A and B are shown apart, each in its own frame.
Chain A
């Protein structure tokens, strides 16, 4: 086993570039998944099954198929339909869409966890449906589910390396590029592996303190 600190030092600027892209994809992907997940949950509560059924099948399908193939689908099929985005946008859409099918279940559990008395109180106050949701149900539901959503952000972090396959230069993409140029595999891959462990550990600490504040 030969470890070369020079290679680590040379890799560092690339590592920083990759880290920025990884975090960008993570933040945007999380925001998209939080929003889309909420949309799916609300659609699943509409009274007509003509909405519920297609949404249910679609989200079930997305949840049970590999993100990697979904990324390929977005990357190669959308241009055939005349839709072109940058690689990072495509990656963010892929991550956000995939994880929205997980966050929708989190929201559902959160909404079901709001006590029935709150619904009844809203009805007694004669609040319109929109106000019932925005002022009574969602603020309580979302508060409860923040820790669970945070766990999915950590999972998503660990899926960001997949974006490498659709030409996004995030951490693993940078590491691979560097390895191919410098013929050093051990250092870059180990460095980013450790970086992932450190980031997800810090994120879980942050989450735990957030959990204590909210719940």
Chain B
């Protein structure tokens, strides 16, 4: 196939990749923070805290990421008068949506720590917060990594939604180039391959991280195929 891509168009693709990566990193940070906050809140002893965290998870898991994005981009400015910079609006919508999926992962992993560990924490008269920080989380976090890794790939795929809002990410660059060249096979193939490579790199990094964290808690890594946990997205299975 004769390539019609000029250096200028490749530059446009690179700009798109940069926006996608920025958005991915920012929303991953927000989603992780929200996931831990909501996931830990669901183990709180006050019912109202548990209820609010549960409400947040159900609402954000129940609705579509794209609708959240419409809400943040179009409804928030008119209804509340808050106009966010596109990058932050995208981060907010994606971070809150995927944070809700992550909260379920965090809750599940904490609940999976053996009861004896909790009892030991109580026997040592640790405060609830110390128990969480020193006993439960160090054991739960390595277990969260494989589902988080899958969620991260889902988040990467989710970042493409911002192109609908007119943000210049990789998918948006793809559309611009299609318009410029009047030819779509080549550019969309490149765009898909770039997303695939990014997803591949993400899974690699996460697998390294899992190994690292497990070694620190003195456990060995299962050498199973990573796909077996791929259904976090359909979180209700947990």
A-side residues, CB < 8 A to B, are: 1-2, 61, 63-70, 72-73, 76-77, 80-81, 102, 105-106, 109, 147-148, 151-152, 154-155, 157-162, 164-165, 172, 175-176, 179, 185-186, 189-190, 192-193, 196-197, 200-201, 204, 207
Main secondary structure of the interface of B (DSSP, over half): helix
Residues of B within 8 A of A81 (CB): 185
Complex contact B64–A196 (CB within 8 A): yes
Q: Mark B67-78, 1 if CB is under 8 A from A, else 0.
A: 110110011001
* Residue of A76, A164, A204 with highest tally of chain B CB at under 10 A: A76
The residues of A that contact B207 with a CB separation of less than 8 Å are none
Binds A, one of B6-14, B43-51, B190-198: B190-198
Q: Is B233 a contact partner of A102 (Cβ separation < 8 A)?
A: yes
User: Which residue of A is nearest B171, CB measured?
Assistant: A69
Chain B positions 222 through 233: 1 when the CB is less than 8 Å from some CB of chain A, otherwise 0 = 000001101101
Cross-chain contact of A190 among B71, B153, B184, B200 (Cβ < 8 A): B71
B66, A148: Cβ atoms closer than 8 Å: no
A69 touching B233, Cβ below 8 Å: no
Report the Cα distance A77→B58, complex, angstroms: 37
Which of B62, B158, B227 is the one whose CB lies under 8 Å from A105?
B227
Per-residue 0/1 for B93-137: is the Cβ within 8 Å of any A Cβ (1 yes, 0 no)? 000000000000000000000000000000000000000000000
Residue in contact with A197 in the complex, picked from B63, B185, B195, B228, CB distance below 8 Å: B63
21 contacts between A and B (CB under 8 A): A61-B196, A64-B157, A66-B156, A67-B157, A68-B164, A72-B175, A73-B188, A73-B192, A76-B188, A77-B184, A105-B227, A154-B236, A155-B233, A159-B64, A160-B64, A161-B67, A172-B64, A176-B70, A186-B78, A193-B67, A197-B62
A200: B residues at CB distance < 8 A: 61-63
With the chains together, A81 CA to B234 CA distance in Å?
Answer: 35
Q: Quick check: is B211 within 8 A (CB to CB) of the other chain?
A: no
B132-188 interface with A by 8 A CB criterion: 153, 156-161, 163-164, 171, 174-175, 178, 183-185, 188
Is A207 a contact of B67 with CB atoms below 8 Å? no
Q: Is B79 an interface residue (CB 8 A)?
A: yes
A72 touching B188 by the CB < 8 A rule?
yes
The answer to whether B184 touches A193, judged by C-beta atoms less than 8 angstroms apart, is: no
Chain A residue at minimal CB-CB distance from B153: A64
Residue of B65, B75, B234, B235 with highest tally of chain A CB at under 10 A:
B234
Cross-interface CB contact of A172 among B70, B163, B188, cutoff 8 Å:
B70
Contact B80 A68 (CB under 8 A): no
